[in-house]
Structure 1
Amino acid sequence: MKKLFIILCLCFLGCQETTKRQSISESIYKKTNATQNAFVFFDSLFVKNPKYLAKGFDFPVGKPNAKGYYNAQKFTVNNHLGDDWNGTGGGNTDLGDPVYAIGNGYVAFADDVGGGWGNVIRIIHQYNGTYYESLYAHCEKISVKKGSFVTKGMQIGTIGNADGAYYAHLHLEIRDNIFMKLGGGYSENTEGFLNPTTFIKSNR
């Protein structure tokens, strides 16, 4: 009787483990499948609209080389996940200045998310067969709509201060994982994020 009980317990635990593995496998499959479908969507977009493939990148302010601006908080400083671009005049002297698309691409998001982010624009770029995302935050105004295409140097908005939360500046992120959530702008984990200045300088 005791042996039978042990056998039944082992069978039960084995079934639980199998169910757990199946659940994990199904979850991974669904996530992978969703990502693959998203890539298919972007692949199709750029195949149909090849003139919007990225051909290099410029800075998002003072185009093309950020003339009149400085990087006030660089990538990874204080766990910062992007670059903060300020006008050399300081304070709010750059409030309302133009923000430009760093490269050709597709506007995946353009809206006010509130809080410390304010108006945010997210652009998907296909460059040399690889996808990247550029993210522009704290914009005062947005000049593009979700679902539209942009070209390098095209004005997409203006520099803002997130409704007075900070002095005016542009927060720029560049990601090589285009499926991440908005996030918080700061983290010790930089996986999926690239140094914006280094990326732009290396891909002119």
Structure 2
Amino acid sequence: MNKFLLLVLILFFCKNEKKIFSFLTVNEKYTKEIDVIQDKSQKYNSLFKKNPDFIATSFDYPVGKPNAKGYYDAQKFKENNHLGNDWNGLGGGNTDHGDSIYAIANGYVSFAKDIEGGWGKVIRIIHKYKRKYYESIYAHCNSIGVKEADFVKKGALIATIGNANGMYLAHLHLEIRDNIYMDIGRGYAKNTSGYLDPSKFINKN
């Protein structure tokens, strides 16, 4: 190789080493994320193919089933950048502490655990509906009545309303997502991509 060309290549690499490394790192991370999505997609396709009775056919409200009787939405979707609905009993305060929480549709429990902090006890359920996947998230629970890898039917008792281990007045934070591959998030964000208005979605479906 021409010595001058070799020198130019060495200088270029030295000057752009950080950029090249950054590109490779980002590309590797992106590739891993794609692999995870493909693995999860194949997993859910297989699960629902083997368990077709748990494919969702419609949706109900998670409290006061089927239509949230006795409850109100204290903080609506997009209000103060809120990514879900906050369901409270009509009595206010902690009067709904320990009330029943129901699965909004048939589905598969992908997560059921106390993650502490502002989320408390959380349940995540994957729903296959009209050939698409959706996720419902139930947060701040007082108790959890299902475990990861359970299948549930619409209206099944899955948890009770809590206060995230005393962080708030008792209520249920409900999210519905049409991107099932996101992490838990923060519950608030200006960017609502991947999130649906829970009440509108339930009323429509």
- Do Structure 1 and Structure 2 share a fold, with TM-score over 0.5? yes
2:89 aligns with one of 87, 111, 117: 87
Task: Report whether the alignment pairs 1:141 with 2:149.
Answer: no
Q: Secondary structure at the match of 2:109?
A: strand
SS at match of 2:192: coil
The percent identity for this pair of structures is 55
Separation in structure 2 between the aligned mates of residue 169 and residue 40 of structure 1, nearest angstrom: 35
d(CA) in 2 for partners of 1:185, 1:109: 17
Structure 2 residue 116 is the aligned partner of structure 1 residue 114:
yes
Query: Match for 1:154: what amino acid?
Result: A
Residue 48 of structure 1 pairs with residue 34 of structure 2: no
Which amino acid is the alignment partner of residue 177 of structure 1?
N
What TM-score does the superposition give when structure 2 sets the normalisation length? 0.90
Q: Secondary structure at the match of 2:44?
A: helix
Q: 1:4, CA displacement in angstroms?
A: 6.9
Which stretch of the first structure deviates more once superposed, 194-203 or 21-30? 21-30
Distance in 1 of aligned mates of 2:61 and 2:4: 74
Q: CA deviation at 1:99?
A: 0.2
Asked if 1:72 corresponds to 2:74, the answer is: yes
**Secondary structure in 1 aligned to 2:135?**
strand
Q: How far does residue 175 in structure 1 lie from its aligned partner after superposition?
A: 0.8
* Matched letter for residue 92 of structure 1: N
State the distance in 2 between where 1:21 and 1:173 align. 34
Gaps of 5+ in 1: none
Structural RMSD (CA):
2.2
Deviations 1:28-62 (A, max 9, x none): 22221221011000100000000000101000000
How far apart are 1:13 and its partner, in Å?
A: 6.0
Structure 1 position 162, deviation (Å):
1.5
Matching residue's letter, 2:199: T
What corresponds to 1:38 in structure 2? 40
Q: Does 1:176 align with 2:178?
A: yes
**Corresponding letter in the other structure for 1:66:** A
Deviates more, 1:60-69 or 1:107-116: 107-116
Which deviates the most, 138-147 or 14-23? Answer: 14-23
Q: Which residue of 2 aligns with 1:190?
A: 192
Q: TM-score, with normalisation over the residues of structure 1? A: 0.91
Give the C-alpha shift of residue 177 in structure 1: 1.1
Deviation of 1:9 after TM superposition, in Å, equals: 2.6
Shift in Å, 1:117: 1.2
How far apart are the structure 2 equivalents of 1:18 and 1:167? 50
Q: Residues 169 and 18 of structure 1: is their aligned pair in 2 closer, same or farther, counting only changes over 3 Å?
A: closer
